[in-house]
Every structure is written in C-alpha cells, then in structure tokens.
Amino acid sequence: MKAKVHVFLKPGVLDVQGKAIEGAVHALGFGGVSGVRVGRMIEFDIAGDDRAKAEAEVKALCDRLLANTVIESYKAELI
Amino acid sequence: MKAKVHVFLKPGVLDVQGKAIEGAVHALGFGGVSGVRVGRMIEFDIAGDDRAKAEAEVKALCDRLLANTVIESYKAELI
C-alpha cells in the first residue's frame, strides 16, 4: 500500500518559511498572493495487505517521527 | 482563490531526506516501510476571480520560485 502524509504547521504558529516565500513572491511582482503556508508531504510504501494494521502503523509513525505534534498537525491517507 | 502546490523530486533524483527518514523509521522497528520520498506542499491565497489568470500566475510562480525544475516537478491546483 502507498501512504501519503501531509504535515503542516498548526494555525497560529508563525510560518517563517511561508513568510520568506511571500516576501519573494511580492518582490517578483505577484502582489495578489497572501497567506503562504509551507508543509511537508511524505510518501512511502508500506508492506502487507492488512489495511487496519497499516493505518495504525502510519499513525504511530506520524506521532513518533514524522510530525512534531506540539506545533504541527498531519493528514494521512492510504491508497 | 486558494492554490495548493505540491513540489516533489523527479523520479531518479536521490532523496537524501527520504533516505534519512527511512533509516529512522527502520530504527523505530517499522521494517515494512520503503521508498520514502519527501516533498513540499505550499498553500496560499491568490486575489481575483479570473481563474485562467490565477492559473497562469501560479504556473509562473512555480517555474520561477517555488520549484527547481531541473530536479523537481510540481502539481498545482486551484480551489
């Protein structure tokens, strides 16, 4: 199975990378762009056919390694 | 309008960040995980109601700033 995990900063947490991109975007002349937020997208293959087990593994991985749940949230999907 | 841009390394380009995550995942005991690839997800608001113009702006932004098209590809969507 393929897993896709989108990790993003929680609302209210200052996104410095997003602010830097926003500044560069405006400097390039695209004034209509605002609210830039940057996240990570992590994709991987997970062995086995047991969907429930795979879902539990992905959740454990997100909580323990892929996301810093103090400041980040994540959305995981299996395909 | 809201734009979502997913930037990812082209197939064949070594993903060192992905390899590092894969090593850490295996060290945590999740042996079934393989082929880890890491990308960026950039979300922003774009002013105006002209969908075609917004699409052209997003494409220009991706090509000029958000992706290094030598080694990266991107998928952009407007919602």
Q: Please give, rounded to a whole number of angstroms, the shortest distance from the CA of B4 to a CA of chain A.
A: 10
- Going from the N-terminus, what domains does chain B have, and what CATH number goes with each? 2-78 (3.30.1280.10)
Strand order through the sheet with B2-9? A72-78, A2-9, A33-46, B33-46, B2-9, B72-78
Within the 37-76 window of chain A, which residues sit less than 8 Å (CB to CB) from chain B?
A: 37-48, 57, 60-61, 64-66
pLDDT at B11: 94
Judged by CB atoms closer than 8 Å, whether chains meet at B33 and A46 is answered as: yes
Q: What is the pLDDT of residues B20-69, one digit of tens each?
A: 999 999 999 999 999 999 999 999 999 999 999 999 999 999 999 999 99
pLDDT at A4: 97
pLDDT at B34: 96
State ipTM: 0.90
- Written as one letter, the residue type at B8 is F
Q: Which residue of B has its CA nearest to A7?
A: B41
> What average pLDDT score do residues B1-27 get?
96
Q: Which of A68, A2, A78 is nearest to A40 (CA)?
A: A68
Q: What is the pLDDT of residues A6-61, one digit of tens each?
A: 999 999 999 999 999 999 999 999 999 999 999 999 999 999 999 999 999 999 99
pLDDT at B26: 96
> How far, in Å, CA of B70 to CA of B13, rounded?
10
Structural contact between residues A46 and A54, judged by C-beta atoms closer than 8 angstroms: yes
The end-to-end CA distance of chain A, in Å, is 6
Q: Which residue of B has its CA nearest to A40?
A: B40
